Structure 1
Amino acid sequence: MANCIVLFCSAFLSFAAVILACVACAGSTKNYNPINKIFEAQLDLSGLNVSQVLSGLGSSIPSLEELGLPSYVNLGLWSYCLANSSGIVSNCTSPSGIQQFNLTNIIYDNINDNQVANLITSVAQITLPDKLEDNMTYYNNLVKCCFITLIIGIIASGLNLVVNILRWILHFVIITWICRFFALIAFLSLLISAGTSTGTYVYIRHALADNYDTYGMKMNLGVIFYALLWASVSAALLNLICLSAARPKRHIYDRPIEEKPLL
């Protein structure tokens, strides 16, 4: 009975890890509530210093509204959403594979669709803090790592759930060890994904904060996204602990044979 409870708890935890990670992964892919409120980080452009960030404008310095730039950009794993000064999301870009953190292109692409697009003719005219420009490739490699390991964690958690259910029927030692293997892969992958994403955007937030007086940009981490992702990591860890306590096969009680006295 105790082993059945352990396996049930393990299945529930692996299911929870899959659901939590999937919801986090789907953040900011559509402009639907609550998906549009789930994002890795929110880029705040409401105080953008246009004259510093956009060079080559001469004496004509348009406002944020004239440029068509949003006040906030919610960065997801697959895409990003644009929000106004009240934080209300207006639209989201279509999911297009791994979403790279390219602040220059985000600004340029959203200027390119308005009436003052002729003021900015090249991404080279957009100036960003040196910490961001010099390490952009490094940041994007970490973002890719976060994305790939999250997908691996979701797949491994799903396989772990399937094998766990199979373990209820077939009491073979090899099935228990396969289940533990997938649980370990799921936990490590989700942990790497959560740690990589958190560390990357914390560093970018500090880089923008150090240069806020010059560029007028700042960043906030997505509380809901990281709550979901770290909760998924916790569920995967508890699942691994439960499977470590599970017996490889059903315990069979052998009743001793009573010897009949010789007549």
Structure 2
Amino acid sequence: MAIINASALFFTALLSFSALILAIVACAGSTSNYNPINKIFVAQLNLKNLNIEKVFGQVSGGKDSKLELPAFINIGLWSYCVADGGGSVKSCTSPSGIQKFNLEQMLTKNVDDNKALNMIDSMAKLVLPENLQDKMGYYNNLVKCTFITLLIGICLLFLDLVVNIVRWIIHARLLNWIGRFLASIAFTSLIISAGTSTGTYVYIRHLLGESYDDYGIKLSLGRVFLALIWAAVGSALFNSILWGIVRARRGYYSGSPMPSEEKPLI
């Protein structure tokens, strides 16, 4: 029994640590232009075939200015990075809280030519797919949910790891219940985060795909990010299951040894 208990504790510690690291790396994606952080993103906008006339209207007719947009925009949870036609990341924005999916803002902020940018501000209102713009607040609430639940999952996994370490020293039934509670809530938070991020951007990809012929904007999912966050979900799930195997040492209750049974006098 002691060997099974020790093995369960060891693997719960390993799994909670693995899930914690995977979730942190996924959360840190696209926060700086350093490899491999700059290659981790929730979704990627492909602007190679952007229809300038359709999206920017009169601006495309300017004689003195030419719109120069990045080929790709890699969208992270805190910030985004821009990349050239070869996929090489050129720069990343500073982390600034929850990164909303604001297509209009991302396009206008990444026009290289200042004169063209002034023309956008004064002459044109960007024309973007109506089916995307109409429910933008709804999509961004889901993005917010992804961000918040991922942070909650990271915090709970850290606390779960601390409880696991303490449990090696103190054989208390109460610590088992705390560990199980933290592990289950951490798993729930991570699966909500992974599910909302996947579902939201799959649907946005579908909407942009429907209007691709008109606007020339394509969106793809970040495979590395999805692999990391779903791997974290898997680790958190097995961590939660293994906590159910851990038992308190006989003779312990809430951290205190139970008094030994008195033998009757003969």
Question: Could you tell me the TM-score, scaled by structure 2's length?
Answer: 0.90
Alignment-derived partner of residue 255 in structure 2: none
Q: Is the 8 A contact 1:145 1:196 kept in 2?
A: yes
Kept in 2, the 8 Å contact 1:180–1:240? The answer is yes
After superposition, give the CA deviation of every residue in 1:86-135 in whole Å (9 maximum; x if it has no partner): 00000000000111100000011112753422321159610110111101
**Alpha-carbon shift at residue 68 of structure 1 (Å):** 2.4
Structure 2's unaligned 5+ residue stretches are 252-265
Q: In the comparison of the two structures, how many residue pairs are matched?
A: 254
Identity over the aligned pairs, expressed in percent?
56
Q: Whole-Å Cα distance in 2 between the matches of residues 35 and 192 of structure 1?
A: 23
CA separation of 1:74 and 1:23: change in aligned 2, threshold 3 A: same
Describe the shift of the 1:137–1:235 C-alpha distance in structure 2 as closer, same or farther (beyond 3 A): same
Match of 2:243 in 1: 243
- Residues 172-220 of structure 1, C-alpha deviations (whole Å, 9 max, x = no match): 1111000101001100000000000000000000000000000000001
1:199-210 → structure 2 map (5 Å cutoff): 199-210=199-210
Residue 176 in structure 1 maps to residue 176 in structure 2: yes
Q: Which residue of 2 aligns with 1:19?
A: 21
Q: In the alignment, which of 34, 37, 40 is matched to residue 35 of structure 1?
A: 37
Over the residues paired in the alignment, what is the CA RMSD in angstroms?
2.3
Structure 1 residues 205, 6: closer, same or farther in 2, change over 3 A?
same
Query: Is the 1:78–1:95 contact (alpha carbons within 8 Å) kept by the matching residues of 2?
Result: yes
Using the size of structure 1 for normalisation, the TM-score is 0.91
| Distance in 1 of aligned mates of 2:15 and 2:123 | 47
The runs of at least 4 aligned residues of structure 1 exceeding 6 Å deviation read none
Note the 1:104-119 alignment, pairs <5 A: 104-111=104-111, 114-119=114-119
**Closer, same or farther: CA 137–61 of 1 in aligned 2, 3 Å:** farther
Q: Which residue matches 2:12?
A: 10
Tell me the distance in 2 between the aligned counterparts of 1:214 and 1:174. 61
Counterpart for residue 69 of structure 2: 69
Map 1:217-256; keep pairs closer than 5 Å: 217-247=217-247, 249-251=248-250
SS in 2 for 1:205: helix
Amino acid in structure 1 at the alignment position of 2:165: I
Please, which runs of 5 or more residues in structure 1 have no aligned partner? Answer: 253-261
Q: Please state how far the C-alpha of 1:244 moved relative to its aligned partner.
A: 1.0
Aligned equivalents of 1:173, 1:102: Cα separation in 2: 49
**Counterpart of 1:198?**
198
| SS of alignment partner, residue 121 of structure 1 | helix
- Counterparts of 1:121-140 in structure 2, within 5 Å, are 121=121, 125-140=125-140
Query: Is the CA contact 1:149–1:189 (under 8 Å) kept in the aligned structure 2?
Result: yes
Cα distance in 2 for partners of 1:140, 1:86 equals 29
Instruction: In structure 2, give the amino acid aligned to 1:83.
Output: A
Contact 2:180 2:243 in 1 (8 A): yes
For 1:135 and 1:122, the matched residues in 2 are separated by 26
Distance in 1, Cα, partners of 2:132 & 2:146: 18
Read off the aligned partner of 1:54 and give its amino acid letter: F
Shift in CA distance, 87/172, structure 1 to aligned 2, threshold 3 Å: same
Give the corresponding residue for 1:143.
143
For residues 17 and 150 of structure 1, the distance between their equivalents in structure 2, rounded to whole angstroms, comes to: 11
Question: CA contact under 8 A between 1:51 and 1:61: conserved in structure 2?
Answer: no
SS in 1 for 2:114: coil
The alpha carbon displacement at 1:57 in A equals 2.8
Letter in 2 for 1:250: R
Is contact 1:50-1:61 (8 Å) kept?
no
- Please give the alpha-carbon distance, in whole angstroms, between the structure 2 residues aligned to 1:59 and 1:134: 28
Q: 1:209 to 1:106 in 2, by over 3 A?
A: same
